[in-house]
Structure 1
Amino acid sequence: MNQSDQSLLTDSRLDRRGFLQKASLGAMALSFPILPELVKETPMGIVVHSYGMRWNSKIPSTQYPAFTNAIDLLEHCRQIGAGGAQVVVGNWTTDFAKKVRDRREKLGLYLEGSIGVPKTAADVSRFEQDVVNAKEAGATILRTVCSSGRRYETYHSVEAFQTLKQNALASLQLAEPVLRKHKVKLAVENHKDWRAPELAAMMKQLNSEWIGVTLDFGNSISLLEDPMAVVQTLVPYVFSTHVKDMGLEEYPDGFLLSEVPLGQGMLDLPKMVALCKQHNPAVTFNLEMITRDPLEIPCLKPEYWETFGDLPGTELARTLKMVRQHKFPTALPRTSPLSPEERLAAEERNILACLAYSKNQLALR
């Protein structure tokens, strides 16, 4: 018997009968299931890219002032009822990391970092300092990407994409000992670069409890993937998420892809959220609602296919059928006709609509 057990039994305030009664009540409580209404969900957080116009904005606006650092973003997240934030961590000082931690703790929010991986051994010390600062601020999960751009825009041959895959694997192998040392998890996003089986294969090859996936719910449509199949393939590795809903529209060279407020698009968000919870009950749900013009996915142009090798044409046929079946009921929203102040207003309006949906329809509150 250890000292704490002995002191409990010998405490004059707790006789043997009282002890047995308390023990019996404790065992009884454990025999009942936890009632769902007593389990408090963490509200949905905000990915910094949701505020692409307001983050470090140069637009002079009194109603939508710029966020200049992580503390500004956290303050705003608390004001609008978000549960936390995923924000860029890079070149922070130790003092600033402590300020972020103190403010985050007072606000009662979670924090995830967004970080760059080391490209060479010379980058490892910089990477480690970013990891240390992120952990000091309270982040134990860090999102990353391993490519420099969208696959169909940046890479123009199978060989070029194979080089990217080799470099990405090397970078993550450099990062892994640092993550293991500091007990911080790194989550690689499917960032319009990896098709889901490719990213899953890299996770298997790395085979590290410290490296997993930031599961983006909509990005991989741009690579002709079925969004639910992407979730089912990557969810065993999920550490973090980018939650979004997607609108689709045809155009002459392929289709248009656009983030739209949650519940207005074609994704089965309740099922996706449930799958993530099933595989990782501690997973956080981070909103990435990017307010912008639709992205052009030129899948009918020959150059789109340069990195895909023997990807069958059936993938194209299935995707185009999905686009037609789930065509957005109106023209996809565009920001280019709006004034700077109107763009800021649209950005905030979309984020607030998404948070309301997450609370009312996804029970993240």
Structure 2
Amino acid sequence: MKQRSDYEMKSAASSMKIGVQGGFYPVPADVEEEGAAEWLVRRSAELGCTVLQVRQLPKEPSRRKELGELAASLGIELETSAPGVFQLAGPEADPSAKSKLQEALREAKLLGMPVVRTGYGRLKVDSSRFNRSVAVRDHMNALVPSLKEAARMAEAAGLSIAVENHCDFTGRELAQILDAVDSPFVGAALDTANGFTVYCDPNDDIEALAPYALTTHIKDMAVIQSPVRGVIPFLPYGCTLGEGHVDLPRALELLAERSPRAEGLHLIIEPGWMKWDAERDIRQQELDFFEQSIRYLNRLRQTKGQVG
């Protein structure tokens, strides 16, 4: 990729879209499941966001169409996950995976999404680099045929698929997988803190995956002393953006400099494994987390986007 000038980097930073991972945002209990995505779109607009990751779209086609129209009218770009990406070929092949992915891509296109995301790890040892029954390199290579097929499908649909470093491989290992796939239609959904889960510095993940990043989860985590003797003495916990050990200012610089989709890149705020105060209202703490993190990320984007 051509090296971006300082002006181009500032322009890219200022254009990035800030939003929330809707699956973690506290939707009121009286909102029906079918209406949750609409409620989140309206709430995102109130928060000044311009992107929203929705975990579950409405089942009714008419409501999905209305959701897309509402989001567009409020200046909010939607993003969601796509199933079946890792079951298209190889030992985990599933005959139904292709149709599931095609349907997800079709829906994403209708809703104006430029990218859909996926993650292999599933928070399980077996689907991670710690699976002792298979060598790490062999495990990585086994994912490539499915991702190559996913790349062909994404190209045909006219959008991109972003693979999250999802508690499975280090950023450098995922970068090697993406190099083997070798398609502009499959890149990374960079999670800025998931490196802690595979015992690597998340700042190394950011460095490795910024050149592939098509979307993100902007997450921060703080390392604290473990209160339990006899176990690993350091524990990472989720925290409000800017209060942890992830170098988020550097992350934005690298994304503005190296991301192939830096213009309008989705900066989606996601909580890590949070340690809420049991003596305070949990929902209020969740609301505070998102509002404070949105303010932090807005300030950071403005700082990185200032043209001198």
Distance 1:38 1:168 in 2: 32
Closer/same/farther in 2, CA of residues 246 and 223 from structure 1, 3 Å limit: same
Closer/same/farther in 2, CA of residues 259 and 205 from structure 1, 3 Å limit: same
Aligned counterpart, 2:176: 201
Residue 350 (1) aligns with residue 295 (2): no
Amino acid at match of 2:300: Q
CA deviation string 1:248-285 (max 9, x = no partner): 11324222211211111122211111100111322221
* Total equivalences in the alignment: 282
Closer/same/farther in 2, CA of residues 200 and 40 from structure 1, 3 Å limit: closer
Alpha-carbon distance, 1:208 to partner:
0.8
Task: Using structure 1 for the length normalisation, give the TM-score.
Answer: 0.69
The higher relative CO (CA closer than 8 Å, separation ≥ 6) is in 2
Aligned counterpart, 1:266: 245
Residue 82 (1) aligns with residue 49 (2): yes
Residue 275 (1) aligns with residue 214 (2): no
Deviant stretches of 4+, over 4 Å: 36-40, 65-68, 89-93, 152-156, 160-164
Aligned counterpart, 1:236: 211
Amino acid at match of 1:204: D
Task: Using structure 2 for the length normalisation, give the TM-score.
Answer: 0.80
Preserved contact between residue 51 and residue 266 of structure 2 (Cα < 8 Å): no
Aligned counterpart, 1:110: 77
Distance 2:222 2:242 in 1: 10
1:129 to 85, 99, 103: 103
SS in 1 for 2:238: strand
Aligned counterpart, 2:202: 227
- RMSD across aligned positions (CA): 3.0
Distance 1:232 1:87 in 2: 27
Distance 2:207 2:108 in 1: 30
Question: Rg: which structure is higher?
Answer: 1
**Structure 1 unmatched ranges of 5 or more:** 1-32, 294-333
Residue 143 (1) aligns with residue 117 (2): yes
Distance 1:239 1:145 in 2: 13
**Structure 2 unmatched ranges of 5 or more:** 1-6, 88-93
Closer/same/farther in 2, CA of residues 131 and 287 from structure 1, 3 Å limit: same
2:269 to 287, 305, 314: 287
Closer/same/farther in 2, CA of residues 161 and 88 from structure 1, 3 Å limit: farther
SS in 1 for 2:266: coil
CA deviation string 1:53-77 (max 9, x = no partner): x25x7x56xxxx6775322211111
CA deviation string 1:29-52 (max 9, x = no partner): xxxx79x6999534411112432x
Distance 1:202 1:38 in 2: 26
Q: How does 1:1-365 map onto structure 2 within 5 Å?
A: 41-51=15-25, 54-55=26-27, 59=29, 68-88=35-55, 92-118=59-85, 119=87, 120-151=94-125, 156-159=131-134, 165=140, 167-251=142-226, 252=229, 253-254=231-232, 255-280=234-259, 281-282=262-263, 283-290=265-272, 292-293=274-275, 334-335=276-277, 337-338=278-279, 342-363=281-302
Closer/same/farther in 2, CA of residues 291 and 224 from structure 1, 3 Å limit: closer
Distance 2:73 2:116 in 1: 21
CA deviation string 1:95-147 (max 9, x = no partner): 33311210011111111122223422432112101111111111111110012
Distance 2:12 2:266 in 1: 19
Distance 2:251 2:268 in 1: 13
SS in 2 for 1:350: helix
Distance 1:212 1:259 in 2: 25
SS in 2 for 1:361: helix
